[in-house]
Structure 1
Amino acid sequence: MNPIDLPVGEDDLQAYLDGRLGAERVEAVERYLVDHPAIAADLERDRRLLAELRDRLGPKAAEPIPARLRISSIRAGVRRRRLLHLRSVAAVCAWLALGGLGGWMANGILGAPNAEPVRTARMADDAIAAYRTFVVEVVHPVEVRADEGAHLVGWLSKRLRTPITVPDLTRLGYRLMGGRLLPGRSGPAAMLMYDDDAGTRLTLYVKTDETEETSFQFVEEDGVSAFLWRDRGLGYVVTAATAREALMPVARLVYDELERPPEPKPANQL
């Protein structure tokens, strides 16, 4: 079948939105959008959101995502780490059986993999696991409720040993429910939970020991979407059981709120 005659799919629409669709498919996609005005409107909305996001992020948005931070590379890193673990076990057994020869083999097999994709995958996995665990709770979704805001911020900031900012998402219809402290692989992590009038919940996961800054990345696992990035020593993950395009403005607002300088204190509090 001629590529021009193939049905228009999600990959075509995304490539068209990103400006990387082959010339032989552009005409087919544009005909499809004329016949489907609702999808065309959604695509135009996504185009505006992406343009605003690039403008707000400035130099970071202009940087290409490194190959090692693509989702395929992250998953490959996880698979590679598991394979290396199995090889490590085999190497130890060989060392015990063959003595010096086994030790030489283990030295070649036990080389450490590139840790960066694994760290990124772990942060996303931890945030999504925390979301799945606590978002379904009815009585105890959070440890400290939003009406104890000063205590919540002070407690989480003290435990993470860095000032924690609570983004205001009311302009998108989300209210802060509260937050909780979570165990992390390299230290404690914090999770803030929000909901809207429809009962939809989303979480902001924050962890320390993230020295390298990264641009936005997107992960989807079994209907749960997450935007993640690292900035100034902290890692952030915004998670919800919603579509990518619905979560994007929330992640953008969270980033803007975190970047906003703190309001100056009144003179009588200086």
Structure 2
Amino acid sequence: MDFNLRPYQEEVVQAALRGENSIIWLPTGGGKTRAAVYVTHNHLETTANAKVAVLVNKVHLVDQHFAKEFKPYLESRYKITAISGDSNEKDLFGHLVKASDLVICTAQILENALISTEEEKHVELTDFTLLVIDECHHTQKESVYNKIMGRYVEKKLRKEGNLPQILGLTASPGTGGNRKLDKAVEHVLQICANLDSVIVSTKNFTPVLQKVVPRPKKHYDIVERRALDPFGDHLKSMMSMIHEFMPSTVSRSLREMGTQEYEADVQQISSLSQKS
């Protein structure tokens, strides 16, 4: 079966093919999901009693991944089941997992099944041999992904065997909103720790990746100030009327109307009023 992987995709799947926990980091349009399909196929081919779960964080991605990625390459040889919150089959999740080689579902469905006491719904993490986690940078704080991986890490620390291999997919691990480099690095390392995985990106085929996913270029068009701005004038008139109802000390503290500084001042006043 020809997956038509590009050189950089072949490079980033190597750790997963060795059975190691890894996070594939490729930009949007770089083919992360296709790489995951390739890893999944190899896993099903080479692992005894293999069972794979592909987890997504949005309902529409269940059918998208099933129809456009996994079904075309794997359905002829393997039983694939797609389950989302819109599906009545979620209450039979445990039964469907037993009957399938690959399940594609929202993370919440797996989380519900892990804590369920109903026999037809309940599953254990050890029922799977590979977990593919889409948009895995969401594995932080109180997210469903992090709850699932929290159970995984706890079992690993207790040295419970037969835990599944982890394969994360992300276009960017993000910075966690941090502007300082050390804090941004700390955020990325925390994501790796939460997923018990290492990040893998292309080192040898960056030029090929840049041709496939070219970096966006910014273009600026400078426009002249409009001679007439009736809407803007009307808006400023309304704001001036509002200012008349403000205490004079507050109104005088506001900077020039229509600027970012003015917006910041208004937001600060709004925040203070909510606290009082």
Query: Taking structure 1 as the reference length, what is the TM-score of the superposition?
Result: 0.23
More strand per residue: 1 or 2?
1
Structure with the greater alpha carbon radius of gyration: 2
Query: Taking structure 2 as the reference length, what is the TM-score of the superposition?
Result: 0.22
* Larger relative contact order, structure 1 or 2 (CA cutoff 8 Å, min sep 6): 2
